[in-house]
Structure 1
C-alpha cells in the first residue's frame, strides 16, 4: 500500500505540474519531457528526465521495458525510474517505448534499431548540455534481452554501441537456445518472430545465433550487472549461471544477484531498494 500511495503521489506531481518539473526532495528535482518522438513510427516515443541545477551530468540511464517483445509500455517502469532518480540525481533518464512485434513483424532488427535511434536522438538533444555522452542500458525481461543484445552484438549496425558504459540486466533471457528457455510459455511466438529466418545473413553466423546475447560476448563487451529471481517461472534462474559463465570466460567485469521471488518481484518494496543499491555500488567501479 505504501508503494502504491507513493506512486500515486509521483504521478500526481507529474501530471499536475504545468512546468513539468518533479521535486523528489533532498534538493533533487528533474525537468520532464513526455512522449518525445525519436522516430517516425508512433511507437518510437520516450520520456526524458533531466536534472535541474546541475553543473555536469555523469551520463544517461536508458530504461527498456519488458512484455515478451510484443507487449508492455514505458509507463510500466515509471515508478522504478523515479526511484532510480532519487538514487542517481547526477544522471539523466530516458524511459523508452519501441516497436512491438506481432505475427506479421519481427523482433529483430526493429527493436535494437529503436534503441539505436533513441540513443542517437538523446545525443543530439543533449549536445549543448554539460553531459557525459555515455549510456547505461537498464532493461527488464525482454527489455533486458534487447539491452544486452544491443550492447554485445557486433553484427547490427548500432552506431552508438561504443557509448554504452554498462548494462543492467533484470531477469533477462541471455541464451534463447538453451533448453531451459524453451519452457517459456510463449516460446513458439519468440521462435517464429525473433528474426526472419527466410532471409540469409551476409555472414557465416546462423540466424538463430544472432539473437543470442551470450553468443556475442567478448573481451570488449560492456560491464554487466544482473538480477534473477529465485522462483522465476518465466525466465529460469539457470540463465544467471549461463550469463555469468560467458562474461567470466571473456573477463568482462560483472556481478549478478539472486533476489527472493518470481519474475515480477524485483520491483517490490523489499527487492527494489536492494537492486538500486547494488547498481549504485557497481557503477562506482566503472570508469
Structure 2
C-alpha cells in the first residue's frame, strides 16, 4: 500500500474508532443527579422550628399490595443513551376496580425522586385508591417540556395496564407537590392538547385525567408573586425553562398551567402552605373556576413550611383532604 492510501486508511480507522467510542460513551454516560432535596435534609432544616414534626415513612399498610420500579416507558435514544422511566404501584388487596391517582414529586424540577411521594401513596391506597408515584426527567437531564411528556406517557401506560392493576379508567386523577404540583396542574389543564403529548409510548391511549390535586405548586410563572421573586440563571425554574423570563417569555407562558384553563377544565383541589409565592396565579384561576362553575376546593395549612406533606401531622391531614376530594369528584360512598 502506498503512503497516500495508508494515510487514508488510517484516517478512516481513526474516525470509525472515535465514533465507536462516542457511541459507547453515550450508552454508558451517567445521568447527572442533584440529591440536595431529600427528607433527611429537610427534616434537619425544620426540626428546630417544628419539633413536633416527624417524617412520614415508607410503611406498606395491611391490605395494600406494593409493586416497585415498574418500567412505564423506555426512551431508546435519550442524551444519556437508552433510558427507562419507572413507577411504583400501590393498590388495595381486596378485589375490585378502583380510582387511580398518579403522583408527581417535587424538587424544583431538578432534584427529588418518586420515593418522596410513597408515604402518602401508601396511606391513600389504604383508603381505596390505586396510587402511582412516577419518575420523570429532571432539568439536569432534560429541559421543559420533557417532564410533561414523561408524565403524560405514564398516564397512557396506566390506562393500557388498567386491568392488571384493578384501575377504573373513568376515574383517573393526578397530584403533585411543589414543582410536581405545577406539573400535575399543567398535565391536567392540557387534556387533549396535542403539543404536550410527546411520543413516549402508548399513543393510542388518551392521557386525559379527570381531576387534579395541586399541593403548593405554581399556577402561573408570570404572576407577580412568582415573576417578582429574585432569580439568577441558576434558579431552578430558570434552569428548567431554559432561560430567564426576558429571554424565554413564550416558554414561561407555555409552562404556566393557568393559561390553559377553560370552561371544560376539570375539578381541582389546592393544598397550600403559608408561603403565598408557591400559589402564584391560583387566585386568578379560582376566579375563573367560579365563573365557569368548575368544582374546586382550597385548604391552607397555616404553617410557614413549604414541604409540609413530607411530615406528620400534615401528611395525614393532606391525605384526608385528598381522599375526601376524590371521593366527591368520583362520587364514591364513604366507608
TM-score (norm 2): 0.68
Gaps of 5+ in 1: 11-21, 198-204
Secondary structure (helix, strand or coil) at the match of 1:283 reads helix
- Aligned mate of 1:269, from 309, 312, 334: 312
Report the structure number with the largest CA radius of gyration. Answer: 2
Shift of 1:275: 2.0
Check conservation: 2:139, 2:239, Cα contact below 8 A.
no
Partner of 1:60: 100
Shift of 1:128: 5.2
Partner of 1:249: 291
User: For each residue in 1:166-188, what CA deviation from the matched residue of structure 2 results, as whole angstroms up to 9, or x when unmatched?
Assistant: 11110000010112113556664
Partner of 2:143: 106
Provide the aligned C-alpha RMSD in A.
2.8
User: For each residue in 1:123-165, what CA deviation from the matched residue of structure 2 results, as whole angstroms up to 9, or x when unmatched?
Assistant: 2222356531131101001111111101112253436343x12
Partner of 1:168: 213
Check conservation: 1:214, 1:246, Cα contact below 8 A.
no
CA distance in 2, matches of 1:136, 1:238: 22
CA distance in 1, matches of 2:294, 2:155: 23
Partner of 2:195: 156
Change in 2 beyond 3 A, CA 1:94/1:128: closer
Gaps of 5+ in 2: 1-50, 76-82, 198-204, 331-335
Partner of 1:16: none
- Aligned mate of 2:133, from 68, 87, 95: 95
Change in 2 beyond 3 A, CA 1:43/1:239: farther
Check conservation: 1:69, 1:107, Cα contact below 8 A.
no
Partner of 2:121: 81
- 1:180 equivalent to 2:217? Answer no
Check conservation: 1:218, 1:252, Cα contact below 8 A.
no
- 1:260 equivalent to 2:302? Answer yes
CA distance in 1, matches of 2:56, 2:228: 36
Runs of at least 4 residues off by over 6 Å: none
CA distance in 2, matches of 1:105, 1:182: 23
Shift of 1:51: 1.9
- Aligned mate of 1:141, from 159, 173, 178: 178
Partner of 1:72: 112
TM-score (norm 1): 0.78
CA distance in 1, matches of 2:57, 2:252: 40
Check conservation: 1:61, 1:135, Cα contact below 8 A.
yes
Shift of 1:224: 0.2
Change in 2 beyond 3 A, CA 1:95/1:250: same
CA distance in 1, matches of 2:232, 2:288: 23
CA distance in 2, matches of 1:71, 1:148: 19
CA distance in 2, matches of 1:50, 1:195: 37
Change in 2 beyond 3 A, CA 1:2/1:121: farther
CA distance in 2, matches of 1:61, 1:114: 16
Partner of 1:210: 254
Q: Which moved more, 1:258-267 or 1:218-227?
A: 258-267
Partner of 2:8: none
Change in 2 beyond 3 A, CA 1:78/1:270: same
- 1:30 equivalent to 2:48? Answer no
CA distance in 1, matches of 2:73, 2:164: 21
Partner of 1:220: 264
